Structure 1
Amino acid sequence: MRTVYVNGSWVSEDQAVISVFDRGFLMADAVYEVTTVIDGKLVDFAGHIARLDRSLGELDMPSPATPEELLDLHREIVAKNGITDGRVYLQVTRGNPGDRDFLFPDPKVTRPTLVLFTQITGRPEDSADAKRGLKILTIPDVRWGRRDIKTTQLLYPSMGKMMAKKAGCDDAWFIEDGLVTEGTSNNAWIVKGGKLITRGLSNDILHGITRAAVMRYAAEAQMEVEERSFTLDEAQAADEAFVTSASAFVMPVVEIDGARLGDGKPGRVAARLREIYLDESRKSGV
């Protein structure tokens, strides 16, 4: 049974509870981060904490702990749960004001709720999806306009994954104004003529930490990266495609709305970037 952190206490997962009046439960008034663990080390931790701080700031929500305290908590929960390869989920809510109200509670009175829990995964090299590649379904993007804030408002992305599953696909990409925004839980990329193309940062997409790392590694490997929007037609005509996220790393895409990319197998560029990302992550983990 997992050990979970809830507001200053380490408890078994069956004892991990928050109030029914917590605003995270009532209004999804909460943000979260997911930090990957590889070989027992935290990957891209500084980036995740910086994005957490940005999300909290955009929602005028107080931080429950310093970056140093959060690092200690992450390391402790990894140790307590014996995580070698897995993930640490951190969630911060605006807390429990004792009743339901649309207005924000006084932060001097109502402190944020802080929860951490873990998941165990297999070794990244053993991923069946990475060897096979993903099949993608596209769906309309009807999410709210601040997708750059990593909130727990994940109902539509969850619905998107279910739509993909029912269609015999692995995941969904969102389409808005004829352009691909991102995946349900990842940033979307295509490769054409050796050039990597991914949508530029704005309020329309999540500012992916893995996306940023892959851009650095691609530049170091002298790969050309172009930040711009692309259409569904462009994606279906691409030489390759892939997605990036803390849980998927670099994951190849082999089919979009039934259109097979290349020979229908994971592409060379995606495979190389995945290899580079995992190698660098092992070197830089904390």
Structure 2
Amino acid sequence: MNRIVYLNGEWLAEAGAKVSIFDRGFLFADAIYEVTGVVDGKLVDYAGHAARLQRSIAELGIACPLTAEQLLDVHREIVSRNALMEGLIYLQISRGAADRDFAFPKDAIPTLTLFTQAKSVLDNPKVATGMAVALLPDQRWKRRDIKTVQLLYPSMAKMQAMSQGADDAWLVEDGFVTEATSATAHIINRDGKLVTRGLSTAILHGITRASILEIAEAAGIPFEERAFTPDEAKDAAEAFITSATSFVLPVTAIDGQPVGDGRPGPLTLRLRELYIRDKMASAI
């Protein structure tokens, strides 16, 4: 590929963008990231992602080198420079480069990078077929509410799920589903109620999740924020995930067992349609 990327105030060809081997993002995963969807060259749900970015870096005590207005300008500029009509923008901020030490350095300058990924986020084939998930133990660290780059275990879980013939994993802790490897898990129970886990340090505070709950409330779709068990998920009428990279995707099988009739559910597809309609109208 021949993308233009952003690195610490410079616009560079991707092959020329270099980060120090002493960067703490590389040495300690001492970094956070955000992902913003782009459709028709516009940013989707940007305000939520920008707010979560600020929360994550505050939790780690990292200072963003750009103001909120400058950060928005950089997002728009990277879309323009790469002629990105549909896809994703990945942003990462690390604490910066310093001599290796578990103690945080006092004078490190944060490393800020952004790059684009062109891909179809609207025409996902899994919308029509649904996706299969495998249930696996959640062995991640306990501060999942911070969107850090500590993604090794989710990657391992996804690979294990794929080796079992599934598309992804739903992670389970203390008898309850937490979330997918990189998305929020939801079910529609047999009473037609949307059930999704409440916010805590156990899960990432999904931006698409928050939007879906707002849309459900406006549409008169009942919902409940609480943990649910793997058995409850398997017995659900419908299931789906939400994320910036997939919007809303139906889950049609859990551990090889069909969810509902094994086809994407009507309420899931309605929520996806409502989300796309709402967020395309408000995209910036």
Q: Quickly name the TM-score band, shorter chain normalised.
A: over 0.9
CA RMSD after TM alignment: 0.7
* Mapped partners of 1:67, 1:227: distance in 2: 31
Query: Residues 41-65 of structure 1, C-alpha deviation per residue, up to 9 Å, x if partnerless?
Result: 1011111111011111111111121
Q: What SS class does the counterpart of residue 227 from structure 2 fall into?
A: coil
Match of 1:249 in 2: 247
* Structure 1 residue ranges, 4+ long, deviating more than 4 angstroms after superposition: none
1:240-263 deviation per Cα after TM superposition (whole angstroms, max 9, x unaligned): 000000001011000000110111
Q: Provide the C-alpha distance between the structure 2 equivalents of 1:152 and 1:214, rounded to a whole number of angstroms.
A: 25
Distance (Å, rounded) in 2 between the aligned partners of 1:174 and 1:138:
6
- Contact kept in structure 1, 2:121 and 2:245, CA below 8 Å: no
Contact 1:64–1:92 (8 Å) recurs in 2: no
Find the counterpart in structure 1 of residue 4 from structure 2. Answer: 3
Could you tell me how far apart the structure 2 residues matched to 1:276 and 1:165 are? 30
- The one-letter code matched in structure 1 to 2:267 is V
Report the number of matched residues. Answer: 282
Q: Structure 2: how far apart are the matches of 1:64 and 1:172?
A: 35
Report 1:137-216 matches (<5 A). 137-192=134-189, 193-216=191-214
Which residue of structure 2 lines up, in the alignment, with residue 101 of structure 1?
101
Give, in whole Å, the separation in 1 of the partners of 2:120 and 2:47: 23
**Map of 2:80 onto structure 1:** 79
Unpaired runs of 5+ residues, structure 1, are: none
Alignment of 1:130 onto 2:131: no
Q: What is the identity percentage for the equivalent residue pairs of Structure 1 and Structure 2? A: 56
Distance 1:142 1:284 in 2: 37
What displacement does 1:123 show?
5.1
Deviation at 1:266, TM superposition (A): 0.4
For the 8 Å contact 1:254–1:265, the answer to whether it is kept is: yes
Question: TM-score, normalized by length of structure 2?
Answer: 0.98
8 A Cα contact 1:238 1:261, kept in partner? yes
Alignment correspondent of 1:14: 15
Distance 2:83 2:63 in 1: 31
Which residue of 1 is the match for residue 49 of structure 2?
48
Instruction: Give the TM-score normalised by structure 1.
Output: 0.97
Q: Deviations over 1:209-267 (max 9, x none)?
A: 00000000011100001000000000000000000000010110000001101111100
